[in-house]
Amino acid sequence: MKLKRTFAAIMAAAALTTTLTACKSDDSGEKVYNIGICQLVEHPALDAATDGFIAALTEKLGEENVKFNEQNAQNEMTNCTTICNTFVSGNVDLILANATGALQAAASATNSIPIVGTSITSYAVAMGIDDWTNKTFDNVTGTSDLAPIDGQEDMLMEMFPDVKQVGIIYCSAEANSKYQVDLFKAELEADGVAYKEYSVADSNEIQAVATTAVGECDALYIPTDNTIANAAETIKNVVVPAKIPVIAGEEGICKGCGVATLSISYYDIGYKAGEMAYDILANGTKAGDLDIAFAPQFKKMYNAEICEELGITPPEGYEAIASE
């Protein structure tokens, strides 16, 4: 059973709390688990991860034995905090934190309720853990959406070997975006390619920053970044008329404004997160004892529409992103 509300609806915290009492029993005496889902923002990648998570837990626990309260924070950290605090007040059995901001809010809200993250590039960066061992040893575990950054840079060089300067656009408020940017810069430096960073503080700056970038660079790179992903159409409206190609960190951004990506399946990492949640709920496994899980495979994909508009023929071995 899936309960989905707008963020405005959860402002009635007392009403929400009464719907989120933990682990009741149904008429048959079986446990009914209450799961709070905090998703940072609505866009295709995060939506797919949430769908995968819900599918896995529903399959493993049974539809009648699990209830989901799915909330979207509309890319506002204060909303993430409110949502997660309300889940804690309602004593949910487990929290799914979808994206870095949601994970940080959930971890700040509770050190006892299990938290499973998904769509997190680096848990060490997100949680400020220096001595990283691929486990949190706390109440947190989950799945990572980190794709091979070196492979993405290789893709850019394969498609545009004569590139002179690469523009890198990301949101400075997202620590995991900066983490990817630093890795990508190191790959460009190793190949002797010039680059320039273009950071935005929020979505209001994207159009202006993108316009500046296309005037100074002949190709762009965008890592997995929730703020940019939520404004991919804005980027497209700048880069396509300027004939500047974008290599994207994931399929959703590529579908919106890019020409190619080396991407994971967000549904798959969400599904894996659901399997981890089942292990915690059904088997009593401590979240922090579970290794962070990564995507099992990556795909070279291209955006046929934008490639055609820019006159780009993708190399052999690239799969066209399905259009809706």
pLDDT exceeding 70 applies to what percent of the chain?
91
The string of pLDDT tens digits covering residues 5-43 is 444 444 444 344 434 445 555 555 679 999 999 999 999
The string of pLDDT tens digits covering residues 93-138 is 999 999 999 999 999 999 999 999 999 999 999 999 999 999 999 9
What is the three-class DSSP state of 120?
strand
Tally Cβ neighbours within 10 Å of residue 81.
19
The string of pLDDT tens digits covering residues 169-211 is 999 999 899 999 999 999 999 999 999 999 999 999 999 999 9
Res 30: pLDDT: 77
Q: Which of 17-31, 44-58, 143-157 has the least mean pLDDT? A: 17-31
Q: Is the pTM of this model over 0.75?
A: yes
- pLDDT averaged over the chain? 92
- Provide φ and ψ at 88, rounded to 5°: -65, -45
Task: Report the chain's terminal Cα–Cα distance, integer Å.
Answer: 27
For residue 163, the 8-state DSSP code is -
